[in-house]
Structures are given as structure tokens and as C-alpha cells.
Amino acid sequence: MCVASYRPQRIRKLLVANRGEIALRVIRAARELGMRSVAVYSDADRDALAVRLADEAVHIGAAHATRSYLNTEALLQAASQSGAQGIHPGYGFLAENAAFAEAVQAAGLVFVGPSAGIIRRMGDKAAARRAAHTAGVPTVPGTEGVLQSVDEAVEAARAIGYPLMIKAAAGGGGRGIRVVDDEAALREQMPLAQAEAAAAFGDGGVYLERYLPRARHIEVQILGDGQRAVHLFERECSLQRRRQKILEEAPSPALSPQLRARLCASAVRLAEAVGYCGAGTLEYLYDETRGEFYFIEMNTRIQVEHPITEVITGVDLVREMLRIADGEPLRLRQEDIAMRGAALECRLNAEDPQRNFAPGPGVVSQVRWPGGPGVRVDSMVYPGCVVPPYYDSLLAKLIVWDEDRPQALARMARALDELELEGVPSTLALHRALIASPMLAAGEFDTNSLETWMRDWQEGKS
């Protein structure tokens, strides 16, 4: 059941429990729906653009996230103080925290997202795999449930076959994952993976999954109202560094129309089977050698890369999230959603790729964003703004659309050439080189390709 069904009244004022570009994105969508917005800010974000553009702003604590953006009590107090009826968590921080969703509901507020029960169920990768099995959605061969001992893992590995991934049952972002090639490595790495998972997510549970070394990472965007769901096609997310996405595109250049239809239908089937409410993303690995896809996990929130889906479908995902949370049934039918053209997104981070991606907080002295047809920039950066050292280093997302993939690549190259950013290091040079690479032009890559390409680029070989 959708949390919105418990709301005491419609959302007239929305608190955005986040910062940066996603806070701005939600504030803008709320305003377009006639909702007043409340920004929250830490000591480090007093002059943030979201604070300037929101209808109201409430200070919630010190710079460190545990004392501000991860502080449930401070966020609920800010909602009470401002008179907000709903809370949008954005992505990251508390967006996939079931206890936070429960606390919001207990306070009589609308949590813009799925119920705490669904967050808990689908956020646990082992439980999500079981849900996929029940819905008839294929998963990567692996263990069912959390492993209790190394000996149990060794026994399971003999049936699955090596190489394997040890994966944290909770959490995400590529953390808590270790690849092992044999039994000796499994015995050595499993206790380390359990300790890493416990430290990162407060849950040391792990499971095993067959490792697909040449797979693509493809995800399907869905919207649901607790009864019915639709998909908005897929995104190609294989270009990753240390399992963190660098560049995404939609649609995937690897899928045929027939395979796309099967993949997206499976995502809708699973979303409806669990009664999903809101915007969510189902992530898959696609094994090109076998032509098969496997569900791996679900993100029960809006994704960083959601804009490329918006520009190929014309659907404002954040507005739809707010409508659903406010009690409206899903407005879209599957036949209403068409895919047009191709889109790419480059994530611009305050990191130096020539120094092992060392973060570079500081003051942005100058910025010039690109423009023109088919160009969108989602960012909280302005000349003179401070990039604090306490949070994720994302500065901006540069999104382009064009009629087909080759033209979208050319448009992105042009937009990157126009972009200027001074005062802090950034990944701009990396994106300029990547967009011009033969690998990207050919669309022939997998989840390991970017790191190989980057080693050559850093050494001046590409």
C-alpha cells in the first residue's frame, strides 16, 4: 500500500530532505504543481542555491551529514516548524531508509516514495531476488537468503560455479562487493565482505552471485501507484568506475526491440507483484554472449540519471512522484509512453581524474553552462558558490537529447566544449575525451570497459 493513503490532507507544502541539484529539481517540480517548498540546510549549505530558490528554508544542524541530512529528528522538526505536509527524500542520505519512511508516516506526514515495507523488502538484495523469482523475473544464479557461515558459502559456490561475487544484502552504490575466483579466495574474502557490509550499512549479511565479467549494466525506470505500474524504457549504465556511474545513456545501444520489450515487461511485472508506489528503478545485468538479462536489485527512489529518461519520453518523473504521493492514481497508461531519440548524461564531479579522482572542494570562481537545442543542465553551482568537503562531489549533470545516438554524441561533444568551470578540479576533461572515444561511438563496452579505457587515457594512450 502506498504511504500516501495515510495522509491527513493533500500536500500544500513540501519539505525537501536533501541538498544540491536534486533538492533544486524537487523544488522546481513542486512549484509547478502549486506546492510551496521548504529547503533544509546544514552549516555548510547556508548559501546553497536550493536555499535561495525555495519558498522557505530551515537550518537543521552542523555540516557533517550525520548531524544534518541524516538526522531524522532534525528533519521532522523542520517539517513541523514549517507546517509541511509531505517530505521528499531525493536520492542518497535517507531516501532508501525504511526507518525514516516509518518515522515520517508516524508523524502524520506523506513520504514521497514507497512504503517502509517495500523499501525494506526491495532494499534487501536477497529478499528482492526472492520477489523476482516469485514474479517470474530471471536473476543471476546465486544463493537464496543471507549466508550463515563460510562453509555454507563454499558448499553453495560449488553448485553455482566460479567466478563469484560476494555481495552485501543491504546497501548499494557498489559497496560491499568482492569478486572471488576460487574456494581459497572465498574463504579469505567472505569475512572481510561481512565486516565491510556491517560498517557501511549496519548489516553484515552477504550472499553469493555468479560473476559475469563481460556484462552490461542496464536499468528500467518504472512508475507505480500501488496497484498498477508502467515502464519508461531503459538506461544504459555500464560506463562505471569502481561501480560508480560516470556516463549514462538512453536507450541502450545493445538491445533489440524484442529484447527491450521483454526486459521492460519483466520490470513492470515485478513492480506490480510487490505493489510498488512511486518512482523506482530495477537494475539488470545483460549478458551479451548469451543474449540474456538478469535482475540484480531495485532502487526505491528517484535516480541520479533520471533526466535522460525524461527527455526521451517527455514525462516529468518528479512531478509524477509528487502526484502519486498526493493520492492521485497513476495517470499514464503504457500505450501513452513512447520513446523518441537518444539522450546522454555526463556526471560532472569536483574530482581530479589525473590524481586518482581526489576530491577538490573549494570556491567556484567561474562557470559557463552550455545551451542550445536539446541541452539541459541540472546543477546547484553558480559563480562564487562553495563546494563543501562533506558530501558527494557531484557538481552538475549535463544532459543532451537528439534524434538519434550519433547526433546525440555530437551534441554532447559540442556542449562539453562550451562548458567552462574554474576554481575547483573537475572531471570535465575526462568527459571530453570519453565522448570522443571510438569505444563510446561504437557502443561496444561493458562494466569493465571504462576503467581499462581510463588507464590508457591517464597515460596519454587514448
**One-character DSSP codes across 260-317:** HHHHHHHHHHHHHHTT-EEEEEEEEEEETTTTEEEEEEEE-S--TTHHHHHHHH---H
Q: Is the pTM of this model over 0.85?
A: yes
Residue with the three cell numbers 524537487? 26
pLDDT tens column, 317-360: 999 999 999 999 999 999 999 999 999 999 999 999 999 999 99
Interacting residues of 320 by C-beta distance below 8 A, sequence separation 6+: 223, 279, 330, 331, 332
Catalytic pick from 7, 120, 129, 301? 301
pLDDT band at 153 (very low <50, low <70, confident <90, very high): very high
461: pLDDT strictly greater than 90: no
pLDDT tens readout for residues 91-104: 999 999 999 999 99
Please give the pLDDT value at position 173: 60
Quickly state the pLDDT bin for 213 (edges 50, 70, 90). confident
Q: According to the model, what pLDDT value does residue 7 have?
A: 41
CB 330, CB 324: distance < 8 Å: yes
Residues 44, 221: Cα–Cα separation, whole Å: 33
d(CA 180, CA 164): 5
> What cell does 265 get?
515487461
| CA-wise closest residue to 145 among 167, 163, 162, 130 | 130
Q: Which three cell numbers stand for residue 305?
A: 540519471
Strands 164-168, 206-210: pairing is antiparallel
Cα separation, 426 vs 25, whole angstroms: 22
Mode of pairing for the β-strands spanning 13-16 and 36-42: parallel
Taking every pair of Cα atoms in the chain, the longest distance, rounded to a whole number of angstroms, is: 61
Summarize pLDDT for 34-49 with one digit per residue, the tens.
999 999 999 999 999 9
202 compared with 434, residue with greater pLDDT: 434
Q: How far apart are CA 374 and CA 397, in angstroms?
A: 14
322 Cβ contact partners less than 8 Å away, ≥ 6 residues apart: 11, 14, 29, 30, 33, 35, 88, 112
Can you give the pLDDT at residue 201? 80
Q: Comparing C-alpha atoms, which of 73, 426, 43, 459 is closest to residue 246? A: 426
Q: How is 327-366 classified by DSSP, letter by letter?
A: TPPP---GGG----SEEEEEEEESEEGGGTTEE--EE--E
Query: Does position 289 have pLDDT exceeding 90, yes or no?
Result: no
Residue 18 — pLDDT band, cuts 50, 70, 90?
very high
Beta partners for 343?
250, 401
Only one residue has cell 536555499, namely 51
Residue 257: CB atoms within 10 Å:
8
Verify whether residue 10 is a known catalytic residue.
Answer: no
For residue 201, the 8-state DSSP code is H
Q: Using CA atoms, how far apart are residues 98 and 162, in angstroms rounded to an integer?
A: 34
- Put residue 34 in one of left, alpha, beta given phi > 0 → left and psi -120 to 50 → alpha: left
Q: How far is CA 203 from the centre of its chain?
A: 21
pLDDT, position 171: 66
How many C-alpha atoms does 76 have within 13 Å on its Cβ side?
17
Q: What is the DSSP letter of 444?
A: -
Which residue ranges form the domains of the chain, and what is each CATH number? Answer: 13-112 (3.40.50.20), 150-210 (3.30.1490.20), 215-459 (3.30.470.20)
Q: What is the pLDDT of residue 174?
A: 66
pLDDT mean over 179-199: 93
What nine digits make up the cell of 217? 549494466
Q: If we measure between CA atoms, which residue out of 217, 210, 255 comes closest to residue 236? A: 217
